[in-house]
């Protein structure tokens, strides 16, 4: 029975009903610890199941923010049965399979960092769309105040991208844990502005509701007897302050003690102290494992035989301190686990963390979890080894923020660990470069650049100086940083790199930096040299990148568009080993053909690019999205409005930013052309509902083509993952404007901005 929450449940059911009808929605359930967030979500999950929903529930955990995508993994693990509605959809997507324990699948191309994250996000959205095509879905992420950075990014992505799917996404979080600098706060501020988000705040219950709740507990035997006399019950209600969990704990403590505990920690531990010695020790061991612990792991960690352990657990479960599941136990409330853990003596805590680390090592535990236990157990050598491995694994899973955190932790303890390079499996410089790459992939270009600068100050190895110079130039270009420094770093790299793929990449990056500074003749010469070295050393990624740069220079300043097309065609002839470059080359080849009237060719190329993005799980990546947009625009311009209208069906109709509104607004071209004022008004209204303002841009809109190309190629990853980081380049003084009729770049510049 749910008491005192009918209004809040009705709001959640409204979001659920809308999802069932084909309008995706997100609900954010907030309230203090113990206020009943899990209880109301449990009621919603039960209701959803009765209505035919597939339900996926995942739990965040307080493990030092080290386990990427933990609630997603938790939700998929519980629904990965091959015969269930979700299992086949997960099995068909390698990026999702790799999240689950026991799967060692390497995705094609072995991509890492930001591109791997885009692939994972696209796979999650694809999976939800796939399953929702057969049954509506309720996806719940509990305790978002503990969510890792990558999970927060996934939540933002899904909230922005879900549109007509039959998906209801629910997240819960504690309001009393959100201090001023809590990383969830800016995420919540962003999400609350979006039209499909419904905030549901749980206020304290009234005294009458608390009294009814306590009466129900007694009636169904779920709580201990009431404190003696009506005065005791009144005291419990007064002290509970409308919090049902506190009321229940006060009720239980009052029945077992003459005086109620004074602090929350004392209150939570009051019932623990009444356990037998064995049961109390089992509970302490369980608290070190976290909110949940498997039965076999708990048995090994306690060292108890089956019968003593079962007796202790039966006592704990009967007191409602732990709840039993199919393969383990969960603390009834996170606050209880925190209180028991905090009550451990320092030596006891260290010993138990070491025990869990040893057990998880034997059982092949996740490196991130091992790193957590080794660090808490002060085992620095093994913490270094696990942190380096956890960083590499997080990068491969598409969790760059967590990868950066693990690599940084390894670097922090590096000098205190003998034979650190052997334990980490790489040199300190390689770990530092991986950390910088992860920071850049997570959108923190300032930290990435600073880390590379520090590494350059610490080394005199010319090869390492060349590699760090190339990376510094690349990060500065992506972030719109100091362009003079970017050119100088790239030039230095080309002077120090041996004749190798590294030299080819350094030259390609140098050409890019020169082109951005309008030093076109130097850029062309440098790109040509990059192409020559790349072909000689087998650096396919640098070869494709140089071909694209040469094509862009030729397109703007050369005498032959045909030569630009030929260069881009060469860039797309075979895989480069870098999916981002492959999609970039296809986008530009299609764009040049479109802008020069070869619409049939452009249609074929965009279709091929969209297919490549789909096959690699990058439909919703930066260039995957751009190719879908261009695919629509080509068919619109060619007069194939039926196809254009079908493609526009995938554009958002509920938007929260100007960029999203402008992308959605391109669907208006067909609606206006076919004289549908009703449809036009409806879409425009929905765009305005997102706070995006008037829609601008469209075929033929003038603008700085070069600025648009820079945005479309170099800074667009910011648009989906880190809104607001892309910036518009100003035209160089004296340069001619974009030739008339070249519409895509001007239109996309407005969308990116």
CA dist 733 and 259 (Å) reads 80
Determine the Cα angle at 539 with ends 537 and 543, to 5°.
110
Cα 427 from chain centroid (whole Å): 29
Task: Decide if 526 contacts 514 (C-beta within 8 A).
Answer: yes
- Rounded Cα–Cα distance for residues 554 and 537 (Å): 25
Of 681, 662, 720, 650, the C-alpha closest to 162 is: 650
pLDDT given for residue 695 in this prediction: 31
pLDDT < 50: residue spans in the chain: 107-109, 224-228, 258, 680-753
Give the C-alpha separation, 323 to 340, whole Å. 16
**Rounded CA gap, 735 and 479, in Å?**
24
CB atoms within 10 A of CB 598: 17
Tokens at 652, concatenated: 């958002």
Tokens coding 124: 């999650």
Bridge-based pairing of strands 322-324 and 328-331 is antiparallel
State the SS3 of 187-244: HHHHHHCCCCEEEEECCCCCHHHHHHHHHHHHHCCCCCCCCCHHHHHHHHHHHHCCCH
Cα dist from 745 to 431, 594, 703, 751, whole Å: 38, 11, 8, 10
Token pair of 285, please?
A: 């061991």
Q: How many CB atoms lie within 10 A of CB 238?
A: 11
Long-range (24+ apart) CB contacts under 8 A made by 680-687 are 683/653, 686/195, 686/653, 686/654, 686/655, 687/655, 687/661
For residue 712, the 8-state DSSP code is I
For every residue of 698-742, DSSP letters joined together read: -TT----HHHHHHIIIIITHHHHHSTT---PPPPPTT---PPTT-
The model's pLDDT over 158-197, given as tens digits with 9 standing for 90+, comes to 998 898 899 999 999 999 888 888 999 999 999 988 888 9
Calpha distance 516→477 (Å, rounded):
8
Contact 544, 571 (CB under 8 A): yes
DSSP 3-state of 170: strand
Nearest 5 degrees, angle CA 82-CA 84-CA 90?
60
DSSP 103: -
Element (H, E) at 572: none
d(CA 376, CA 361): 15
Whose CA is closest to 538, among 593, 567, 577?
577
DSSP 714: I
Of the candidates 652, 728, 664, 653, the residue with the CA atom closest to the CA atom of residue 696: 664
End-to-end CA distance of the chain: 50
DSSP, collapsed to helix, strand or coil, labels residue 330 as strand
pTM for the model stands at 0.81
* pLDDT tens profile 671-683: 888 887 555 444 4
How far is the C-alpha of 387 from the C-alpha of 438, rounded, in Å? 14
Give all strands of the β-sheet with 322-324 in edge-to-edge order.
292-294, 328-331, 322-324
Supply the pLDDT for residue 617. Answer: 78
**What residues pair up with 58 in beta bridges, in sequence order?**
141
Residue 363, Cβ density class (10 Å: 0-12 exposed, 13-18 middle, ≥19 buried): exposed
If we measure between CA atoms, which residue out of 243, 163, 181 comes closest to residue 650?
Answer: 163
Which residues, in sequence order, are CB contacts of 518 under 8 Å at separation 6+? 732, 735
Distance of CA 345 to the CA centre of its chain: 36
Nearest to 442 by CA among 152, 199, 687: 152
């Amino acid at each position: 029975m749910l008491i005192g929450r009918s209004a809040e449940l009705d709001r959640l059911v409204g979001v659920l009903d809308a999802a069932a009808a084909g309008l995706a929605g997100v609900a954010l359930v907030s309230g203090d610890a113990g206020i009943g967030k899990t209880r109301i979500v449990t009621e919603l999950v039960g209701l959803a199941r009765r209505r035919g929903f597939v339900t996926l529930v995942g739990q965040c955990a307080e493990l030092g923010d080290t386990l990427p995508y933990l609630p997603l993994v938790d939700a998929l693990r519980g629904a990965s049965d091959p015969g269930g509605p979700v299992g086949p959809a997960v099995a068909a997507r390698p990026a999702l399979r790799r999240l689950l324990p026991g799967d060692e699948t390497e995705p094609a191309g072995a991509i890492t960092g930001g591109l791997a994250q885009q692939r994972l996000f696209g796979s999650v959205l694809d999976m939800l769309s796939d399953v929702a095509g057969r049954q509506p879905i309720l996806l719940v992420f509990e305790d978002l105040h503990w969510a890792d950075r990558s999970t927060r990014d996934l939540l933002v992505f899904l909230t922005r991208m879900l549109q007509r799917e039959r998906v209801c996404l629910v997240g819960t979080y504690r309001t009393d844990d959100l201090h001023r600098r809590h990383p969830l706060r800016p995420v919540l501020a962003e999400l609350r502005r979006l039209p499909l988000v419904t905030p549901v705040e749980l206020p304290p219950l009234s005294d009458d509701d608390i009294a009814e709740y306590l009466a129900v507990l007694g009636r169904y035997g779920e709580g201990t007897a009431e404190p003696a006399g009506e005065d005791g019950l009144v005291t419990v209600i007064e002290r509970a302050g409308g919090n049902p969990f506190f009321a229940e704990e006060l009720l239980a403590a009052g029945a077992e003690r003459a005086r109620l505990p004074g602090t929350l920690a004392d209150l939570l531990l009051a019932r623990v102290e009444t356990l037998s010695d064995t049961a109390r020790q089992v509970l302490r061991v369980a608290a070190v494992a976290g909110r949940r612990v498997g039965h076999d792991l708990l048995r090994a960690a306690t060292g108890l035989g089956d019968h003593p352990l079962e007796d202790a657990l039966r006592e704990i479960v009967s007191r409602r301190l732990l709840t039993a599941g199919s393969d383990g136990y969960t603390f009834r409330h996170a606050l209880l686990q925190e209180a028991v853990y905090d009550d451990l003596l320092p030596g006891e805590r260290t010993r138990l963390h070491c025990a869990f680390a040893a057990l998880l090592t034997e059982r092949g535990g996740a490196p991130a979890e091992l790193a957590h236990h080794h660090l808490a157990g002060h085992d620095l050598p093994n913490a270094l080894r696990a942190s380096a491995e956890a960083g590499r694994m997080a990068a491969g899973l598409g969790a760059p923020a967590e990868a950066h955190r693990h690599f940084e932790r390894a670097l922090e303890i590096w000098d205190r660990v003998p034979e650190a390079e052997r334990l980490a499996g790489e040199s300190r410089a390689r770990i530092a470069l991986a950390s910088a790459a992860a920071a850049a992939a997570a959108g923190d270009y300032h930290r990435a650049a600073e880390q590379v600068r520090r590494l350059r100050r610490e080394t005199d190895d010319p090869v390492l100086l060349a590699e760090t110079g190339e990376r510094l130039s690349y990060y500065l270009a992506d972030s719109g940083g100091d362009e003079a420094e970017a050119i100088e770093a790239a030039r230095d790299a080309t002077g120090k790199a041996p004749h190798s793929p590294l030299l080819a990449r350094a030259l390609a990056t140098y050409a890019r930096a020169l082109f951005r500074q309008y030093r076109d003749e130097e850029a062309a010469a440098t790109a040509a040299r990059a192409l020559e070295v790349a072909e000689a050393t087998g650096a396919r990624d640098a070869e494709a990148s140089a071909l694209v740069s040469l094509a862009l220079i030729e397109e703007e300043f050369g005498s032959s568009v045909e030569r630009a097309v030929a260069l881009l065609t060469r860039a797309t002839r075979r895989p480069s080993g870098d999916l981002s470059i492959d999609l970039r080359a296809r986008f530009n080849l299609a764009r040049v053909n479109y802008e020069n009237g070869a619409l049939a060719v452009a249609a074929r190329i965009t279709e091929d690019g969209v297919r490549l993005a789909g096959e690699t799980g990058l439909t919703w990546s930066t260039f995957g999205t751009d190719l879908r947009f261009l695919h629509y625009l080509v068919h619109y311009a060619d007069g194939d409005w039926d196809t254009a209208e079908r493609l526009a069906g995938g554009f958002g109709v509920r938007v929260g930013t100007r960029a999203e509104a402008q992308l959605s607004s391109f669907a208006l071209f067909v609606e206006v052309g076919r004289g549908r004022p009703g449809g036009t008004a409806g879409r425009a209204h929905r765009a305005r509902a997102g706070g995006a303002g008037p829609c601008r841009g469209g075929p033929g809109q003038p603008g700085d083509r070069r600025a648009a190309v820079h945005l479309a190629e170099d800074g667009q990853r910011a648009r989906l993952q880190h809104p607001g980081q892309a910036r518009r380049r100003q035209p160089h003084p004296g340069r001619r404007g974009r030739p008339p009729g070249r519409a895509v770049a001007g239109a996309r510049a407005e969308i990116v901005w």
